[in-house]
C-alpha cells in the first residue's frame, strides 16, 4: 500500500535524473538517481549490486541502455524526511572488440590510438655502424663491452690482465680491431660510453567492449607484429613488436590497451621474434 511519502512497500523509486555519456571508445557511462524510505532501506539495499544490470532497478530504461548498462558503483545519502537518496553509476558497451582468433577489430568497434616518442639509451652493439663491422671486430668489441678484455690503443689490440696484475696482449690475432669505425667504438667503450641515444617510439591501441583478449592477440605478445591503426614508421628497416597488454574489467566492460614498440635502427631479429 502507498505510504504517506508516496512509496510502495520496499520500493526503490527511480527519479527523473538520468544522464548518459558515450566516450571515444563507444562505451556508455551513466548516472541514475533513486530514492527510498528509511524504513525500507534495509530491504532494498541488497538490490544494489555492483555488476548487476541497471535495468533491474529501473525497467523503464530505453534501449540501448536497458541491456548494456551494468552498475559500477553507487553512493548513498540520507536526506530530510526520512529518505535515502542513492546515486548509481553504470557503464556498458555493446561491442565485442575481439572476435575468436581474428586479428582485425570488428567494424563497429571504435579504437583510440596514441603515439609516444622519446629519446632512449640503446647499446652500442645495436648501432648501424656497429652491425656493419666484420664478425671478428664485433666479437672483439663484445669482449670489451662485457669487461673480458681491455683495449691497447698503441697496438690496436685487446689486452688481458693476469692474476699478477700484468697486462698481456690476447694471443688470438683474429680478435684485433683494425677498422677506423671499430677503433672508434673501442675508444668509446674504454672511456665508459657503452650506449647511444636514439628515438624510441611506442604505439598504443585502447578499446572497450565485452570481450577478453583472444588467443590471436596473446600469441602476438613478444613477437614482431604490424600494429593496427596505421602508425607512422621512420625510414629504414625498423619494425614493430607487440610488447605490452593490459586489460581492466569494470562491471561487464573490458578496457584493453595494447602497446607496440618500434625497434632501434637495426630491426627486431626475425629469427628470434617471428614464429
- Whole-Å CA distances, 102 to 22, 112, 231: 26, 19, 20
Domain ranges of the chain: 13-92, 112-120+197-273, 122-195
Any residues with CB less than 8 A from the CB of 146 and at least 6 apart, and which?
Answer: none
Is domain 13-92 in CATH 3.30.200, yes or no? Answer: yes
Per-residue pLDDT of the chain (275 residues; tens, 9 = 90+): 334 446 666 678 888 889 999 888 888 899 999 998 888 888 888 888 888 889 888 998 888 788 889 999 999 998 887 888 999 999 988 778 776 656 778 777 888 999 999 998 989 998 989 989 999 899 889 988 988 888 877 776 788 887 777 777 776 655 678 889 998 999 899 889 999 998 889 999 999 888 888 777 788 899 999 899 999 877 788 899 999 999 998 888 888 999 999 998 878 889 999 88
Beta carbons within 10 angstroms of residue 146's beta carbon: 9
Interhelix angle 180-190/135-145, rounded to 10 degrees, is 10
Amino acid at each position: 500500500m502507498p505510504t504517506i511519502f508516496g512509496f510502495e512497500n520496499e520500493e526503490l523509486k527511480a527519479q527523473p535524473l538520468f544522464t548518459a555519456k558515450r566516450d571515444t571508445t563507444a562505451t556508455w557511462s551513466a548516472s541514475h538517481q533513486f530514492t527510498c524510505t528509511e524504513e525500507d532501506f534495509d530491504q532494498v539495499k541488497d538490490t544494489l549490486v555492483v555488476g548487476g544490470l541497471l535495468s533491474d532497478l529501473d525497467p523503464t530504461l530505453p534501449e540501448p541502455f536497458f541491456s548494456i548498462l551494468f552498475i559500477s558503483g553507487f553512493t548513498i545519502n540520507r536526506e530530510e524526511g526520512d529518505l535515502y537518496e542513492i546515486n548509481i553509476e553504470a557503464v556498458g558497451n555493446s561491442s565485442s572488440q575481439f572476435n575468436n582468433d581474428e586479428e582485425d577489430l570488428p567494424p563497429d568497434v571504435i579504437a583510440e590510438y596514441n603515439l609516444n616518442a622519446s629519446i632512449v639509451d640503446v647499446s652500442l652493439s645495436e648501432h648501424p655502424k656497429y652491425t656493419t663491422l666484420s664478425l671478428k671486430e664485433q666479437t672483439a668489441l663484445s669482449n670489451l663491452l662485457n669487461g673480458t678484455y681491455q683495449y691497447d690503443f698503441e697496438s690496436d689490440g685487446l689486452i688481458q690482465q693476469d692474476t699478477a696484475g700484468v697486462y698481456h696482449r690476447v694471443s688470438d690475432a683474429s680478435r684485433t680491431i683494425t677498422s677506423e669505425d671499430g677503433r672508434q667504438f673501442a675508444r668509446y667503450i674504454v672511456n665508459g660510453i657503452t650506449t647511444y641515444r636514439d628515438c624510441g617510439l611506442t604505439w598504443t591501441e585502447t578499446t572497450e567492449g565485452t570481450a577478453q583478449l583472444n588467443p590471436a592477440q596473446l600469441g602476438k605478445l613478444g613477437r614482431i607484429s604490424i600494429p593496427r591503426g596505421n602508425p607512422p614508421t621512420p625510414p629504414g628497416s625498423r619494425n614493430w613488436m607487440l610488447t605490452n597488454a593490459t586489460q581492466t574489467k569494470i562491471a561487464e566492460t573490458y578496457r584493453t590497451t595494447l602497446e607496440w614498440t618500434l625497434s632501434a635502427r637495426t630491426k627486431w631479429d626475425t629469427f628470434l621474434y617471428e614464429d
